[in-house]
Structure 1
Amino acid sequence: MNIQQMQYYAEVCRQENVTKAAATLHMSQSTLSLAMKNIEEDTGLNLFRHVGRNIQLTEDGQALFHEVEKMLKQVKRFESSVKEIAKRHNRLQLAVPSQIATVILPLLLGEFRQFHPEIQLEIIEPAGGAALDMVEREEVDLAFVHDAEGRPNLSLRKLSTWPICLCVPREHPLTNQKSIPLAKAAVYPLVLLSRNFILTRQVLAEFAKQKLQPQVLHYSPNLSSVWNIVQQGIALSILTGNGILPESGLTAIPIEGLQQKGFIVTKKGRQIYADERCLIDFVRHKFAAL
């Protein structure tokens, strides 16, 4: 007997009436009657006596009912244990690099946390490449990154596309430019994010491709340090558009032909838990609305 047959049989035994049991199980009487006949055939036992519209259990039927009830209690305990294990996954570990964090963290710590207070979020802010490494090593459940090509072990869900921009103080002469070529950015002293950032590697590769020599004064691991240096007029920077907030006092000027895609990244072949799926669906819905 399988679990479903046990559940059917136990209900018929409790009700001592196939019609009532069928109503409780939300199935037709004929289907349940056939199921009881199959159980008798499978076990080789006469389980019921028919008394008018009701049935009575034979001695064998009563003995089988006793064993089925014991088995169903074990199944219930098993299901409870599985649910208890699943509760441990109310804690999600996320890797969110600093630039994309400027748009993702307010969503996660604001609206998502308000709607789903039961889900605990542990968030770290590594560089993009490091975030991808952490997903591959299963040190975090997922990451939000800009671009993630050449990683066959990872699954990518696209969020959006942003321009790569020259970041300048609001009073800078270039502020009113709608866009500029990369060659114009190479003229100015620059402060860039560290070389392990996906953006920086992409920008340096494009400088090399165009045979340009950028004036990089410093590579910083901290987005706030980059903003501060630009705000003080010491150097300009090249950042993804979503990494330059309106209240920062800086202006983002798109660089012609350069852009970055944003992705939610998970490990291929790894089970996506319900709370993880909830977060992924929430973020993708928010970006689709934008």
Structure 2
Amino acid sequence: MELRVLNYFLTVAREKTISQAAQVLHLSQPTLSKQLKELEEELGVTLFERGNRFITLTEDGVYLVNKGKEILSLVDSTTANLIKKDRISGKITIGGGETLAFQLIGKVLYHLREEHPDIQLELYSGNADDVLEKIDKGVLDFGLVIDPVEKQKYDFIQLPLVDRWGLMVHSASPLFSKQTISPKDIETVPLLVSNQSFVDTQLAEWLGGNLDHLNVVGTYNLLYNASLLVKEDVASALCIDGIINTAGTNLTFIPLMPELTASISIVWKKDSFFSRSATAFLQCIQSI
């Protein structure tokens, strides 16, 4: 499968019609249709179905779109990191969960780009499971992860700060006026919890048992959408402090007591062969 043809397919998937994609690619429609047909024959699958107005991706087509984007992104970053050898340039790819620690990374990147303005950034938001998967595949150089996370197969640096766990509640909640939240307070409250691996274990330790007796009505991987459900008083959310600005809203964040905190680490794949830009970033992180 040629990268050129993969790009053709991704363009068709984005534009929804072969005719529009052909215009974007500056190809004739018959030429593009022929290339796509040959791609399907090469792979032995049907990638999309033609409708009256728009194409519809098959299950295999959706899979190729997701993987194709990762492939082209990796090619682009590799190419960028190999050019302009006379100075440090190229792309640094960083993934992370929702945490105020990204501000610390921002300060590092600000000073790094002051010295090396040709460095470009690509950020990805996701929970630790998502981020580590992309590091394993080589799509991300670094990940900012909130513990608890299995880090044995990665190199990492623990950052000099922690996140604080608490409960985000609606103003109508009987817990709204409390200063802290105890394990007993949430025994019957409808809850949204993070679906990150090992978070259940950490929360279970705080509860002194497990989550089985709690009224968990749903899970989330990023907090913003979960906060919208809290705004509608669907449930309260066990979450990290500082991610959602509750000022001027019908929400409030209440810390857990006993206090529950999570350390934060920057991780990368062991024995990675970094670009000069990624190496410069790592050196800056190591000096914190």
Q: How far apart in 2 are the matches of 1:211 and 1:200?
A: 7
Instruction: Please give the per-residue CA displacement for 1:251-275, whole angstroms capped at 9, x wherever unaligned.
Output: 2222224221111111222245443
1:128 aligns with 2:128: yes
Which residue of structure 1 aligns with residue 186 of structure 2?
185
| 1:109 to partner: Cα distance | 9.8
1:241 aligns with 2:241: yes
Which residue of structure 2 aligns with residue 230 of structure 1?
230
| 1:242 to partner: Cα distance | 3.5
Q: How far apart in 2 are the matches of 1:244 and 1:146?
A: 16
Q: How far apart in 2 are the matches of 1:211 and 1:239?
A: 15
Cα contact 1:183–1:212 (8 A) shared by 2? no
What TM-score, normalized by structure 2, do the two folds share?
0.57
1:147 aligns with 2:127: no
Structural mapping, 1:58-207, within 5 Å: 84=84, 90-97=90-97, 99-100=98-99, 103-104=101-102, 108=106, 112=110, 115=114, 117-147=117-147, 149-159=149-159, 160-170=161-171, 172-193=173-194, 195-196=195-196, 198-200=198-200, 202-203=202-203, 207=207
Cα contact 2:223–2:239 (8 A) shared by 1? no
Cα contact 1:192–1:220 (8 A) shared by 2? yes
Which residue of structure 1 aligns with residue 55 of structure 2?
none
Gaps in structure 1 of 5+ consecutive residues: 1-81
Instruction: Please give the per-residue CA displacement for 1:54-81, whole angstroms capped at 9, x wherever unaligned.
Output: xxxxxxxxxxxxxxxxxxxxxxxxxxxx
Q: How far apart in 1 are the matches of 2:198 and 2:88?
A: 33
The structure-2 alpha-carbon separation of the partners of 1:246 and 1:147, relative to structure 1 and needing over 3 Å to count, comes to: same
Q: How far apart in 2 are the matches of 1:272 and 1:121?
A: 15
The structure-2 alpha-carbon separation of the partners of 1:198 and 1:90, relative to structure 1 and needing over 3 Å to count, comes to: farther
What TM-score, normalized by structure 1, do the two folds share?
0.57
Instruction: Please give the per-residue CA displacement for 1:80-136, whole angstroms capped at 9, x wherever unaligned.
Output: xx8745868620111112x22x55279639972974642211112222122123223
Cα contact 1:191–1:229 (8 A) shared by 2? no
Q: How far apart in 2 are the matches of 1:236 and 1:168?
A: 5
| 1:174 to partner: Cα distance | 2.9
Which residue of structure 1 aligns with residue 267 of structure 2?
265
Q: Which structure has the bigger radius of gyration? A: 1
| 1:139 to partner: Cα distance | 2.4
Q: How far apart in 2 are the matches of 1:215 and 1:124?
A: 31
* The structure with more helix, counted as a fraction of residues: 1
Instruction: Please give the per-residue CA displacement for 1:143-167, whole angstroms capped at 9, x wherever unaligned.
Output: 0110154332212212221221111
Which residue of structure 1 aligns with residue 35 of structure 2?
none
Cα contact 1:127–1:197 (8 A) shared by 2? no
Cα contact 1:146–1:199 (8 A) shared by 2? no
Residue 112 of structure 1 aligns to which amino acid in structure 2?
Y
| 1:177 to partner: Cα distance | 3.1
Instruction: Please give the per-residue CA displacement for 1:199-229, whole angstroms capped at 9, x wherever unaligned.
Output: 3553356558257511111223342211101
The structure-2 alpha-carbon separation of the partners of 1:87 and 1:223, relative to structure 1 and needing over 3 Å to count, comes to: farther
Residue 182 of structure 1 aligns to which amino acid in structure 2?
P
Cα contact 1:95–1:123 (8 A) shared by 2? yes
Q: How far apart in 2 are the matches of 1:197 and 1:248?
A: 33
Gaps in structure 2 of 5+ consecutive residues: 1-81
1:221 aligns with 2:221: yes
| 1:184 to partner: Cα distance | 1.5
